[in-house]
Amino acid sequence: MWWPISPYFASDDFVAMHYARDAAAVAHDFVGPQYAAADVWAFYRPLITLSFWCDQAIGGAWPPTGHLSNVFAHAVSTLLIALIWRRFLPNGQAFGAALLWAMMPGHVGSIAWVVGRVDSHTTVWCLLAVWLCLRSVESRGRRWPTALATIAALMSKELALVVPMLCTWIGWLAAEGGLLTRVRAAWRASWPAWLVLAVYLPFRLMILGRFGGYEASTFDPAAAAAGLGSITLDQLVPSRWIGGAETWTRTAIFGWAAAVPLAIAAIAAIARRPRLVAGAAVAWLIALAPMATFLSQADNPHNLRYQYLPSVVLAGVLASGHRWIAPAVILAWLWPLTAVRIEQHASDSASARIHAALLRAAPEAPTGPMFVGGMPHANDSGTALQLHFGVDRMLQPPFYPAGAQLFAWRPLDRGPDSIRLQGADGLPFTLSEGSTWWFADPSALGRAPTAPPMDELVITGDQGGAVDLRGPVLDDMLANFATILKAGGRGPSLVTPGVRTMGYRVTIFTANGYLCCWCPNHAASDATDGRLDFARFFGGDPQNPLWQRGATVTRTWDVDIGSRLDVPTTIDLDPTFPTLIEAGDFDAQNTFRPTHRARRMIRLNFDRSFPEWRRRCMGQ
């Protein structure tokens, strides 16, 4: 079902492959955060990093190697699901449950995306721990294998935090006898998993400096409850999200008709096995817990991968009503599975052509960074990631031995009110350094047109073309913000001699895209020169009426578009961002009209402490 067909790397795959080529970096992940990320992504996943090193040791940077690893893990999980469900269902229905789970189209992100192994590999260890626990309940045999499987799961993803609870609950369901007898049996079998968790939690806190993982403070119970219903429907009726033109035929045949066997399966399961359904519902909620913050993001089909482990329970319930229900559901899912795989293949092919074109152009490109437009985040339906993160690794080892800087020419903030940097024709234009390119289609990489002529914006105040915005400078700026406001702009700043403008368009290029910001002129009202003061740039000036322009003014103290720099300063290879500065004003349509453009780009030098500094600005 999931055999790789001309697969390719996508998004974070480039980050993982670049990082894991170094055995010393892989070893570091056993005693530190994944990818040595200092802030935003505080994950402990050393076995995942090790698996990427193994991929390269076996097949180099050959895409099928990593994809085959995911498919093999999926196959092992399928076998374990059958072995677990046969404790509660007849063999044929347990086999049907495993087969249903194996072909769920929503698994595409966990299998066909190499980094999706954080779910597919981790689930192998989670299911193995549960299966070993069940065997211990049945035979009172050795318990240390359960502990080893739990250790491997916890070293793969935070998803595994639920393993001890799952072991206890499922062990209790499988045990025989009275209430106390079943409780004792479940505890005897599952206590090694709890012991591992008790050791793991302080160890994780010690090596990461904080608990890390997914941000629980963003959890909205009401939104999560609504999202859970939508996500569950997407799993069970995948024709809701597979993409393609919406037609009456498709809606009737692959929508309503596909939902009929699902509805029959649910009714039959509740009618014939109500106790099993109730016990399964508890297991489902336990398995959902670590990914609960993503339930509110139900509009993104790629987030279905977070249901990879919980969907084991849904598959079993569907198969439990009658032996002929699983084959009916399989028939209903055949077209969505085929459609998802077709879309994945098309996206992989496009990503491969884009990467090949970049690799051909890099040796001939002028010295300096390559700014490239037309690199897609994902396919149109959102079912397959393409070049979302990790763009700056595409021209680094192991893909390109020489190494070259690469920046995506696309908005980092993709909201409807975000400012765009483009020429009159909507295309990128040639910048003053390096080379500027764009893809008309995945196979057509061309040079961007020359920028329209414009008066030069002279800039002074930088230090050799750079502005120091590293931790100590930002800390001093935060401590003295009130004084800076009264003093009229002391601290890091740039001056534009002879240009007294309404404001500036500041475009900061990061690997994943540019952050384009409107910033008012910070000079005194009687000054003949313009000024861009970085204390006001990040903190804002409450006395300036443009402070209220939340969509266009970048600031950190309040509505913080500055948060868009959290990820780049954490994960980009180098948190030094080339920045284009233009002076101008707004027209009657509220569109920025540049009148002057700098002929040299300024480097904004950040370091990895920026996200932590921004949180302190927000009082967190």
pLDDT (tens digit per residue) in 252-261 = 555 666 678 8
Mean pLDDT of 45-54: 97
> Which residue blocks in 362-501 are alpha helix, DSSP H?
471-479, 481-487
Give pLDDT tens digits for 123-177.
999 999 999 999 999 887 788 999 999 999 999 999 999 999 999 999 999 998 8
Question: Is pLDDT of 358 > 50?
Answer: yes
Return the half-sphere exposure (C-beta side, CA atoms, 13 A cut-off) of residue 200: 25
Mean pLDDT of 469-497: 79
Query: What is the pLDDT confidence band of residue 590, given thresholds at 50, 70 and 90?
Result: low
Among candidate residues 501, 459, 492, 488, the one with its CA nearest the CA of residue 474: 492
Identify the pLDDT of residue 296: 80
% of the chain with per-residue pLDDT over 70: 90
Q: Are 371 and 429 in contact (CB under 8 A)?
A: no
Identify the pLDDT of residue 252: 54
Give residues with Cβ within 8 angstroms of 222, minimum separation 6: none
Identify the pLDDT of residue 147: 96
- Stronger pLDDT, 369 or 561, i.e. the higher one: 369
Mean pLDDT of 565-572: 90
Residue carrying the six token digits 């070259």: 404
Identify the pLDDT of residue 80: 98
Measured torsion, CA atoms of residues 81, 84, 90, 95, in degrees rounded to the nearest 10: 10
Report d(CA 584, CA 589) in Å as an integer. 14
Identify the pLDDT of residue 556: 35
Identify the pLDDT of residue 538: 77
Identify the pLDDT of residue 417: 64
Give pLDDT tens digits for 64-79.
999 999 999 999 999 9
Query: What is the pLDDT confidence band of residue 277, given thresholds at 50, 70 and 90?
Result: very high
Question: How open is the CA angle 302-307-308, to the nearest 5 degrees?
Answer: 95
Give pLDDT tens digits for 194-230.
999 999 999 999 998 888 776 655 667 888 888 888 8
Give pLDDT tens digits for 381-407.
888 999 998 999 999 999 999 889 999
pTM for the model: 0.90
Question: What is the overall mean pLDDT for the chain?
Answer: 87
Question: Is pLDDT of 46 > 60?
Answer: yes
Query: What is the pLDDT confidence band of residue 608, given thresholds at 50, 70 and 90?
Result: very high
- Stronger pLDDT, 544 or 251, i.e. the higher one: 251
Give pLDDT tens digits for 498-525.
988 888 889 999 999 998 888 888 888 7
Identify the pLDDT of residue 245: 46
Beta bridge pairs of residue 581: 506
Identify the pLDDT of residue 357: 96
Mean pLDDT of 80-108: 95
Report d(CA 333, CA 103) in Å as an integer. 8
Identify the pLDDT of residue 488: 56
Q: Are 569 and 575 in contact (CB under 8 A)?
A: yes
Mean pLDDT of 326-336: 87
Query: What is the pLDDT confidence band of residue 2, given thresholds at 50, 70 and 90?
Result: very high
Report d(CA 284, CA 212) in Å as an integer. 24
Identify the pLDDT of residue 568: 92
449 secondary structure, DSSP code: P
Question: Is pLDDT of 589 > 70?
Answer: no
Give pLDDT tens digits for 448-465.
998 888 999 999 999 999
Question: Is pLDDT of 419 > 90?
Answer: no
Please, what's the b/e burial string for 59-98 (b: 16 or more CB within 10 A of its CB; e: otherwise)? Answer: eebebbbbbbbbbebbebbbebbbbbbbebbeeebbbbbb
Give residues with Cβ within 8 angstroms of 18, minimum separation 6: 390, 393, 396, 397, 398, 399
Report d(CA 519, CA 552) in Å as an integer. 8
* Three-class secondary structure of residue 413 per DSSP: coil
Identify the pLDDT of residue 215: 62
